[in-house]
Amino acid sequence: MVQRFFKNEVGYEDWFSKNPEGLVLNVYEENVTTDKLHLANCFHLRAEGEEGRRTNSYEKVCSDSAEELMVEATRIGIKRNKVWAWCPHCKKKFDEKAARFLKL
């Protein structure tokens, strides 16, 4: 299920603690052309300087399903004339996990 958090730090932190294997899309301001998709455990999402205000500057759209969140990211992008991209660090980890799964 997709959940959205903007200026809702308590809700985001609650989701985050319950979904350590989830994914987070940072939906940036209108003037930024690329939104960024992260694995929930990405170090970029936990910067100490942002504690208590991680949802204040831009919306975080979250899900425990990669497929569901990628569809939602594309929908958001079309609506706002933007694109989304993986965080390079997270994309590598996501691809490695998918490759291990395919070998089973």
pLDDT tens string 24-79: 999 998 778 899 999 999 998 877 767 667 788 889 999 999 999 999 999 999 99
pLDDT for the residue 77: 92
**3-class SS at 34?**
strand
Main-chain phi, psi angles of 87, to 5 degrees: -60, 130
Q: How far separated are the first and last CA of the chain, in Å rounded?
A: 27
pLDDT for the residue 66: 94
Q: Is the pLDDT of residue 104 over 60?
A: no
Confidence of residue 101 (pLDDT cuts 50, 70, 90): low
pLDDT for the residue 22: 95
Q: What ranges in the chain are assigned the alpha helix state H?
A: 9-18, 66-80, 88-103
Averaged pLDDT for residues 78-104: 86
Which residues on neighbouring strands pair with residue 38, listed in sequence order? Answer: 24
